[in-house]
Amino acid sequence: MFASVEGGPAGYGVLPIENSIGGSIHRNYDLLLEHHLPIVGEVELPVVHYLLALPGSSIAGLRRVYSHPQGLAQCERFLRTLTGVEIIATYDTAGSAKLVADEHLTDAAAIASARAGEVFGLTPLASSIQDYDDNLTRFLVIGRRPLPNTVPDKTTIVFSLPNEPGSLFKALSAFALRGVDLTKLESRPIPGRPWEYLFYADLAAARDELPCARALAHLAEFAPTLRTLGSYTRWKTSEGRQTDSSEVAS
C-alpha cells in the first residue's frame, strides 16, 4: 500500500492503526516511520466479524479457523467455544476468506466481514462473533497531498528520549504546561538498539496552533529525534453515516 501511494497509481492509502479491543497494530506504526508519507486523515469504523465457510460446511466439521491476529483477538471468547479446532493467524481477514474459497477447504473457516463472504462465495456459520458490540477500528489515511476541504485539529508525532531520570516527565510536561491534550501515547522498540524506545503520541491540536508549536519546539530542545507524522482532521462521528466492516473493501 505504501509503495502504491508513493509511486502511484493510488492517491491515498488507508491502514488500520488501532482497535478498541485488540489494541494497536504495531507493524503499521513501524511502517509509518520507515516511509515518508504523511498522515492526512483518520476514519473510525465499527467492525462486525463473521465466521465464513464454504456452502454446506458446519461448525461441527471445522478443524481450522483462519484470520488476521487482530480478528482472532477480537473474537477470542467465541473461539474458545470451538473444540478440536486449530486457530491459524494470517496476513489479512479478507485474505483468509479468499484462502478458504480458493483452496476449497471444506473443514476450514475464516473470520472476516460479511462483504468478504459475498465476494468469495462463502456462507456465514455465525455472525457478530466479536467479543464486544462496540468493536471499533481506527484507520489512518496517508497521502502525498492533504485531503481537500479539511482543517487540521490533530497531530501525530514520534520522538526518542535520552535514557535518564525524568526524561518522559519532561516530554509530557512540554504539552501539559501549554494545555495540549495527549490522546494517545505508544512506545515501540528502536530496531538495532535493544531496550531503547520510540514514543508515538497523538495530540489534540493542529501542529501550527501556537501552544502546540511551542510545545514541539520545547520537546525538540532535549529529544534526540522528533518527527511529525501528520497534522490532520480528527474523525467526528457526526460527519456522515457510520459504516460497518461489510461495506468497506481493503
Catalytic residues: 137, 139
CB contact set of 67 (below 8 Å; sequence gap of 6+): 75, 89, 90, 93, 96, 110, 111, 112
Query: What is the number of helices (H) and of strands (E) in the chain?
Result: 8, 13
Q: Please state, in angstroms and as integers, the Cα–Cα distance from residue 131 to each residue in 21, 47, 53, 62, 91, following that order.
A: 8, 11, 20, 20, 21
Nearest to 95, CA basis, from 121, 120, 61 = 120
C-alpha cell at 27: 507493524
